[in-house]
Amino acid sequence: MKIAIIGAGVIGVSTGLQLAVRGHDVTIFDREGVASATSQGNAGAFAFTDVIPLATPGVMRKAPKWLLDPLGPLSIPPAYALNIAPWLLRFWRASRTDRYEASLAAQSALMSQSRNALERLAVEHGMEAHLRREGQLQLYEGAAQFEASQPEWRERERHGVRFHFLKSPAEIAEIQPGIAPRFTHAGFTPDWSNVTDPKCWVEELATRFRAAGGRIEIATVQAVRPAEGGVWIEGGRIDGIYDRAVIAGGAWSKALTRELGDAVPLETERGYNTTLPAGAFDLKTHVTFSNHAFVVSRIGDGVRVGGAVELGGLKLAPNMKRAEFLLSKAKAFLPALKTEGGKQWMGFRPSMPDSLPVISPSSATPAIVYAFGHGHLGLTQSAGTAELAADLVEGKAPAIDMKPFRAQRF
């Protein structure tokens, strides 16, 4: 089949590679090129342990305090407050116990699928050299914070996540020296892995995609719609008919799906980070500061400090004070961290209210498949999403129940 994919981020390129090795004629279209947007600046983690949705029971009791702090872990710029209201209502509904349990089960299934798919990808395409299997350290300040986290750890255990606890600064230092002694407890997940660099990872996948016969073109797709004989792709010089299309445009997917009759509640969760040069800190594992909503990870020879959530859409100017604030916190928590010479960045995470991506056929035609909305977990779920989306394109039954990921679930 002749297939068009819109979006050359990690989801689009992974899906393109999966379809190309299955023997299809695949072209990926992107406005700027491979990993030019969100996929280049993330923390580089395969967070398979993060099965718990953001919308948890009781989360809305915490939200007002967070939202009042413009530099807090969850913020909404005043200029965007009215825009985000419908999404927040759905987020609140998703936090109800029954919906939360359903999202948790679906997220766990997708994580399992994605973890196994990553192992297949690493073997079949020689990607192991681009992985760091160094685990993850999730830190807590004092026994009270640690005890408050136990329900989440029990959920992880229930869904097969391996971990062990550290209950003193000395035990923590055996895995990661240099952490401030205020962090007295931690959970260590040994099966956590990272890429050496997220942009390089997608570029390597793109190289293998091209080697399998795929093409990547710089072009802005303006519309995707059903047509006699397949799917019409509109974008000026690239206008044409394809047998199938996959919309994997991340936060930019919403406009295309709206034209197809799917009012998907996709929002833009803006993430901030600073990447420090080589020698900034001797980081031995991915470090998560749980109650401060940011992480520190190795990227290339440097260190990346980033996280938090700002629900601010695609058009507002970035607030780089958030990146500066996270860096100052990291310095306090990692006293030996050298903060000079960093490069700031802001990216757009495509987020759904229930923390589940959209992986489904369009309402307009099964010839158009959606693959977007992964929030923080695009890299994590990319290999699994690629296999599932490719099955949908080919009309095959995917390996997991796809009902929770339908575009029409809202």
User: Looking at the predicted structure, is the pLDDT value of residue 344 above 80?
Assistant: yes
Distance (Å, rounded) from C-alpha 296 to C-alpha 84? 29
Average pLDDT over residues 74-95: 89
What percent of the chain is modeled with pLDDT above 70?
A: 97
Indicate if the pLDDT at residue 9 is higher than 80.
Answer: yes
Map residue 300 onto helix, strand or coil: coil
Q: Please give the average per-residue pLDDT across 77-106, as a whole number.
A: 91
From residue 36, give the alpha-carbon distance in Å to each of 20, 86, 185, 218, 389.
21, 29, 38, 11, 22
Q: How confident is the model at residue 62 (pLDDT cuts 50, 70, 90)?
A: low
Output the six-digit token pair for 6: 């819109």
pLDDT band at 182 (very low <50, low <70, confident <90, very high): very high
Could you read off the pLDDT of 165-178 as tens digits, one per residue? 999 999 999 999 99
Phi and psi at 291, nearest 5°, equal -85, 5
Whether 8 contacts 199, CB under 8 Å = no
Could you report the per-residue pLDDT of 34-50, keeping only the tens digit for each? Answer: 999 899 999 999 999 99
Q: What is the pLDDT of residue 342?
A: 97
Token pair in block for residue 197: 């660099």
Query: Given a cut of 90, is residue 59 above it in pLDDT?
Result: no
Q: Where are the alpha helices (DSSP H) in 212-320?
A: 254-259
Q: Which two tokens stand for residue 289?
A: 């500061």
Residue 286, pLDDT > 80, answer yes
Phi, psi angles (nearest 5°) of residue 117: -65, -40
Q: What is the mean pLDDT of residues 131-144?
A: 97
Query: For residues 343 and 51, which has the higher predicted lDDT (pLDDT)?
Result: 343
Would you put residue 341 in left (φ > 0), alpha (ψ -120 to 50) or beta?
Answer: left
Highest mean pLDDT among 31-35, 36-40, 94-98, 289-293: 31-35
pLDDT of residue 290: 86
Q: DSSP letters along 335-400, please?
A: TT---TT-EEEEEEEEE-TTSPPEEEE-SS-TTEEEEE-BGGGTTTTHHHHHHHHHHHHHTPPPSS
Domain architecture of the chain: domains with CATH: 1-51+98-129+194-264+354-410 (3.50.50.60)
Token pair in block for residue 410: 């809202």
Strand partners, 240: 233
| 353 Cβ neighbours under 8 A, 6+ residues apart | 55, 87, 90, 91, 93, 94, 265, 267, 410
H helix or E strand, kind and range, residue 323: helix 321-333
* 113-124 mean pLDDT: 97
What average pLDDT is seen over the chain?
A: 94
Helices (H), 30-124: 59-67, 81-94, 97-124
pLDDT score at 387: 98
Report how far residue 295's alpha carbon sits from residue 329's, in angstroms, rounded to the nearest whole number.
11
The pLDDT value given to residue 115: 96
pLDDT for res 353: 95
Q: Is the pLDDT of residue 64 over 80?
A: no
Contact at 8 Å (CB) between 334 and 181? no
Predicted confidence (pLDDT) per residue in 197-224, tens digit: 999 999 999 999 999 999 999 999 999 9
Label residue 54 by pLDDT band (50, 70, 90).
confident
Rounded Cα gap, residues 2 and 243, in angstroms: 5
Residue 67: per-residue pLDDT: 62
Bridge partners, 185 (sequence order): 140
* Nearest of 213, 202, 171 to residue 188 by alpha carbon: 171
Report pLDDT for 76.
85
What pLDDT score was predicted for residue 79? 87
What span, in angstroms and rounded, lies between the C-alpha atoms of 203 and 208? 9
Q: To 10 degrees, the CA torsion angle through 333, 334, 338, 339?
A: -30
224-280 tens-digit pLDDT: 999 998 999 999 899 999 999 999 999 999 999 999 999 999 999 999 999 999 999
Q: Give, in degrees to the nearest 5, the angle at Cα 317 between 197 and 234.
A: 75
Structure tokens that stand for 111 in this block: 């994580």
